[in-house]
C-alpha cells in the first residue's frame, strides 16, 4: 500500500486534489491518502467552502502559513512541511498546479529524498514575470513524475531537456471535478437568489496583480465591461484583492452605479459552477476557467496577453484578448454572435478519468 500526501494550498488546488483523494479512497487496498493544507488561502470562502463542496476530507494537517510575500509564504511552507514529512514518511507526495505551496513542498521532498509527483506539469506561459511560471518551471525540474494534461505540455518538457520516462500524459484532473460535481451544481439556487434564473448573462473573474493593481489597466477593463454590459449583464464575484483595489482607486462606486455590472461576494465551488455553467460568456484572467469553459462549450475571453493553456485557444473556446478595451468588446460581441466557438473540440483525455490514470502511473512506477 502506498502512503501518499496530497498537498493543497490555494483554491485552484482543491479541484485538482479532490478527485485524486476520492479515487485513492476507492482504491483503499492500494493507497492510504493524507491531505496537507498549507493555508496559503486561509479564509473560509477561499478554502473551507471548497473543502465542503468538493467532499474533500478535513485536512490531516493544516500548516496555517497565511498571507505574506512570495518569499515569506514559500519559506513558511518549507519550514512547516518538513517535520510533517519526517513524521509521516510517505511513499509519495503529490503537488498540484503552480502556487507557492507547490514549489515549496516539492523542494522539501527533494531535499529529504521523498518521491514527488507534479499534477498539471508542463504548462508554460513563456512569461517569467508571472510568479506561477517560475513555480511551474522549478517544480518540473525536480519532481520524479510529471503528470501532464495535454501533449503540448509534454512538448514543453522535452524542449527543457526533461527525460521522457518522467512524463505521464494523463489528462486534466480539474475536469474530473467538473464532471463529478456538475449535476450537484445545477441544483444550486444561486441564479434564483441573484434574480437571473431566466436571464442571459455573462460572468467575470478578475484577480491577477497585473490587472487589478494598476489603475490604468483596471480602468481599461472596466470600460470594456461597461460597453459589453449594454448588450449583456455581467455578474462579477469579486476576489478580496480586487475589491481592495477597486475601493483604493475609486472604481467601486463606478461599477455599483452601473446596473449591468453586478458585484457579488466570492462563491463556493458549487455555486460558482452553477453560475458560470449557464452563462453566455465568461471573461477571466484565471487559468482553470479557460479549461472548464472549453469542456462546457462556453465562449471564454482571457484578459491576459499569454496563457499557459494554449490548447484551450487552439482546440477550445478560449480567446486571448489582453486588456485593450476595443479588443475585449469586439471579441465579446463576436462570441455573442456565435462565431467564436465554431469547430471547437474537447482535448484528448479530458474525460473525467484523469485521477485513475495518475494512480495507475504511481502503482506502475512502484513495480519497476
C-alpha cell at 139: 517544480
Cα separation, 241 vs 143, in Å, equals 31
SS3 (DSSP) at 13: helix
- The phi, psi pair for 212, rounded to 5°, reads -100, -15
Q: What residues contact 6, with CB distance under 8 A and at least 6 apart?
A: 17, 20, 21, 24, 33, 34, 35, 36, 93, 94, 96
Residue 41 annotated in active site: no
Determine the Cα angle at 33 with ends 102 and 144, to 5°.
45
Measured distance between the N- and C-terminal CA atoms of the chain, rounded to whole angstroms = 15
Q: What is the DSSP letter of 113?
A: T
Q: Is 215 exposed, middle or buried (0-12, 13-18, 19+ CB in 10 A)?
A: middle
Distances (CA, A) of 70 to 32, 40, 148, 366: 31, 10, 25, 34
Cα separation, 229 vs 235, in Å, equals 10
37, 41, 70, 207: which one is catalytic? 207
SS3 (DSSP) at 345: coil
- 2-8, strands of its sheet edge to edge: 61-62, 31-37, 2-8, 92-96, 115-119, 145-148, 167-169
Q: Is 192 exposed, middle or buried (0-12, 13-18, 19+ CB in 10 A)?
A: exposed
Residues known to be catalytic? 207
Amino acid at each position: 500500500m502506498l502512503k501518499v500526501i496530497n498537498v493543497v494550498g490555494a483554491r485552484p488546488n482543491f479541484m485538482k486534489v479532490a478527485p485524486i483523494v476520492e479515487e485513492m479512497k476507492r482504491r483503499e487496498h492500494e493507497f492510504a491518502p493524507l491531505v496537507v493544507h498549507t493555508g496559503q488561502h486561509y479564509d473560509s470562502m477561499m478554502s473551507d467552502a471548497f473543502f465542503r463542496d468538493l467532499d474533500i476530507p478535513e485536512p490531516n494537517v493544516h500548516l496555517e502559513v497565511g498571507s505574506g510575500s512570495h518569499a515569506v509564504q514559500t519559506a513558511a511552507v518549507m519550514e512547516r512541511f518538513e517535520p510533517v514529512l519526517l513524521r509521516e514518511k510517505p511513499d509519495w507526495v503529490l503537488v498540484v498546479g503552480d502556487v507557492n505551496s507547490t514549489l515549496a513542498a516539492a523542494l522539501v521532498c527533494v531535499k529529504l529524498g521523498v518521491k514527488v509527483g507534479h499534477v498539471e506539469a508542463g504548462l508554460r506561459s513563456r512569461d517569467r514575470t508571472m510568479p506561477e511560471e517560475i513555480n511551474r518551471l522549478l517544480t518540473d525540474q525536480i519532481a520524479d513524475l510529471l503528470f501532464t494534461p495535454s501533449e503540448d505540455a509534454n512538448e514543453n518538457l522535452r524542449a527543457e531537456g526533461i527525460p521522457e520516462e518522467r512524463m505521464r500524459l494523463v489528462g486534466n484532473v480539474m475536469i474530473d471535478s467538473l464532471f463529478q460535481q456538475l449535476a450537484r451544481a445545477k441544483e444550486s439556487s444561486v441564479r434564483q437568489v441573484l434574480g437571473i434564473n431566466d436571464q442571459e448573462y455573462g460572468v467575470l473573474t478578475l484577480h491577477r496583480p497585473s490587472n487589478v493593481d494598476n489603475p490604468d489597466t483596471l480602468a481599461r477593463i472596466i470600460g470594456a465591461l461597461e460597453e459589453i454590459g449594454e448588450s449583456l449583464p455581467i455578474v462579477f464575484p469579486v476576489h478580496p484583492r480586487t475589491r481592495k483595489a477597486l475601493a483604493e482607486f475609486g472604481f467601486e462606486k463606478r461599477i455599483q452605479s452601473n446596473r449591468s455590472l453586478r458585484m457579488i461576494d466570492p462563491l463556493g465551488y458549487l455555486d460558482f459552477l452553477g453560475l458560470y455553467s449557464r452563462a453566455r460568456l465568461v471573461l477571466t484572467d484565471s487559468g482553470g476557467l479557460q479549461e472548464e469553459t472549453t469542456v462546457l462549450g462556453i465562449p471564454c475571453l482571457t484578459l491576459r496577453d499569454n496563457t499557459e493553456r494554449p490548447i484551450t485557444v487552439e482546440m477550445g473556446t478560449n480567446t486571448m484578448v489582453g486588456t485593450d478595451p476595443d479588443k475585449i468588446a469586439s471579441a465579446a460581441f463576436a462570441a455573442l454572435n456565435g462565431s467564436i466557438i465554431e469547430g471547437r473540440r474537447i482535448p484528448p483525455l479530458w474525460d473525467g478519468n484523469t485521477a485513475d490514470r495518475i494512480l495507475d502511473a504511481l502503482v506502475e512506477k512502484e513495480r519497476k
